[in-house]
Structures are given as C-alpha cells and as structure tokens.
Amino acid sequence: MPLLLVAVLLATTSAAAGASTRLVHVQVQPGPVVAVRLDFSAPVTPIVRSLPASDGMPERIYLDLPATTLGEETPRITSGAGALLRVRTGQFDAGTARVVLDLSLQQPYVVRTAAHSLTIELTDPTPMPMPTPALAPPPRPPEAPPARTQEVRRALVVVDAGHGGRDPGATGIDGVVEKTVTLALAKLLAERLPARLPVDVLLTRRDDAYVPIDERVAFATDATLFISLHANASLDPRTRGIEVFFGGGGPAQVASTGDPPQRFGLAIIDALTARLADSRTLVRPGGYGVLARNSVPSVLLEIGYLTNAEDAARIRDAAYQALVTEAVVDAVDAFLNERVES
C-alpha cells in the first residue's frame, strides 16, 4: 500500500513539474464540419470551457491543457474557417498551455480525443434535413431561418498596450508609469472599437504581463490593423505633445492611393487634431520592432510626455483618455471605409 501511494505521487508530480507533453501541431479542417485538430507528444486531458462575447472579445471556446507546453514550431495564431475566426495558442502558466477558438457566433461543439490528438468539431446549429423520426426536431415556424450574415469575416484590430511586467517603460511626474497608462487606454479601446464599428479586437496583454515583441507581432498575423500604445519621456520637462509613428504593411501592400500604413497614420493625426485641437503631432515611419516586423498597417501612438506636467495630468484624466480613444476609433473607421471604397 505505501509503495502504491508513492508511485501515484511520483507520477502526478512528474507530470505537473516536468510539463513533458508538447502541443506540436494545430490544424484547422475547413469542412463540411469545421474542426480544429491538435496533436500532442503524449495523451492530454483538456479542460474545456466556452465564453460569451464580452469586453471587446468575440465568442470563444477555451481549452486548458494541463502539464503541456507549446513547441517552438507551434503556431501562435492559425486562420479559421466558417464561423471559426482563428485559433490562438499560448502558455497560460509554466505548466498549462491554452488554446482559444475565436468564433463569430456561438457554436455547439464536440471534443473528440484520440491517443495523441484532440479534435474540436463545431457542429452546425442548423438542423439537418435528414428525417429521423425518433430524433426529429420540433416543427419549425414558417419564417425563414435567420440570415447568417454574422459569418462574414470582420476586420480584426490588434491593440497593443506597450511594455508590461518587468518592462515598465517610461516613468514620469509623480511616479506615473507608462505600462499602466497604456494598459488602461488599451482596455478602453477594446471596449469602444467593437461598440462603434463592426470589428473584433485582440489585446496583446490584458494585465501587467511581460510580452516579447515577437509575440505581440504574432497577434497581427490575421489582423487588419495593429495599434501600439505608448507614452513618452524627455529630459526636457517642456517637451510635450502626441506623436504618431507608422510602419508595417510590407512593400506588397503599397497601393496607388498611398501606402496603407501612412494612410492609417494620417487618419489618426486627422482624428486627433479634430478631437484635441491643441495637440502637437508628428507622423513619420518608425523603426520600432512592433512596426518594422509587422505585416499589417501599424501605428505606434505616443499619447504624450509623462515628464511634462500638463501632459502627465491630462494623460491621467478620464475625459482626455476618452477623447483619445474616440479619436482612434474615428481613424480606424476612416481607414476601413476608405479601403473598402478603393
């Protein structure tokens, strides 16, 4: 009996501490039944939950995989099909990998487990026309089924709260820290963008976490726009004002109407000028990692100088934060509509 207990304990602790199982492959199977297949180096028992759309995030299904880590080669974002917008993977904590299925609308699903794989099938909510007397659905009302227009792929905007965790960014007057300011503004944007526009939003961080630049950029793989939020600092306390940098997009996306990153940068300047007449703004290509390595039109917005008394005060003012947020939403709106027309 004592021997058996020891054996059980050893098995449990080695699985938890060693995190020996790797998630090696993510595959989206487009149809007729959309499914996501995950391959592992060893069998895994997932914890599966679904969450309704909220707080700027779409409808989603979460799988937490205990004692599992992501492989080097595991994609962080995989494009979806049908009602599946995309599949995201991440290391939730040292021992738990998390897989998130973002959905354009609520979907019933089944999880099938095999020896070294796991498949999540999104079962179509429309009843099959096949007559099965015993399981026949109740008679439907005569009206046509609801139009499934929501399945149209919506624009995806990645909102990046600059810095975080062990990287505080700039420190300003009264100890105000950049990473805190950028997170507050990112959360406001995540709320206001989908409230005003038909867009989905992904936040690169939702708390005081350190997220490496490559992971931030990976969020944009499937995105339409990338917005990185920052606050500035200067040795000269008189230096103040908003600055906008643009980048990303890649040479292939340069259109005759002007290059998309620049157009997005200018749209932000226009919107900020319209909402905050006094702001000093600049726009120029930025050499920052999140811009240079980004594949989609990207802006880096420095919302003011934390080292300037006036800027530091207004950056912490809720009314000012709301104005900046609405201006960025105006700019996304202008950019997306202009693009549809061209």
Nearer to Zn ion by C-beta: 75 or 289? 289
**Residues 176, 178, 182, 185: is their CA dihedral positive or negative?**
positive
DSSP bridge pairs for 232: 305
Q: How many Cα atoms are found within 13 Å in the side-chain-facing hemisphere of 237?
A: 5
Residue 245 CB-density burial (10 A; 0-12 exposed, 13-18 middle, 19+ buried): buried
Q: How far is the CB of 162 from Zn ion (least distance, A)?
A: 4
3-state secondary structure of 246: strand
Q: How far is the CB of 239 from Zn ion (least distance, A)?
A: 15
CA distance 102 to 111: 16
Position of minimal CB gap to Zn ion: 230
Where does 84-198 show beta strands of DSSP type E?
A: 84-93, 96-103, 109-113, 117-122, 155-161
Are 168 and 177 within 8 A, CB to CB?
yes
Integer angstrom CA distances of residue 284 from 51, 196, 220, 222, 334: 40, 28, 21, 25, 19
Q: How far is the CB of 287 from Zn ion (least distance, A)?
A: 13
Query: Residue 264: which of 279, 286, 280 has the closest Cα?
Result: 286
CA distance 118 to 114: 6
Q: How far is the CB of 171 from Zn ion (least distance, A)?
A: 11
Are 177 and 171 within 8 A, CB to CB?
yes
Q: How far is the CB of 193 from Zn ion (least distance, A)?
A: 21
Question: What are the residues binding Zn ion (CB under 5 A)?
Answer: 162, 169, 230
Nearer to Zn ion by C-beta: 82 or 169? 169
Nearer to Zn ion by C-beta: 51 or 233? 233
Nearer to Zn ion by C-beta: 56 or 169? 169
Instruction: Classify residue 258 by its DSSP letter.
Output: B
Nearer to Zn ion by C-beta: 169 or 194? 169
Q: How far is the CB of 230 from Zn ion (least distance, A)?
A: 3
Nearer to Zn ion by C-beta: 302 or 330? 302
Q: How far is the CB of 298 from Zn ion (least distance, A)?
A: 14
Nearer to Zn ion by C-beta: 162 or 164? 162
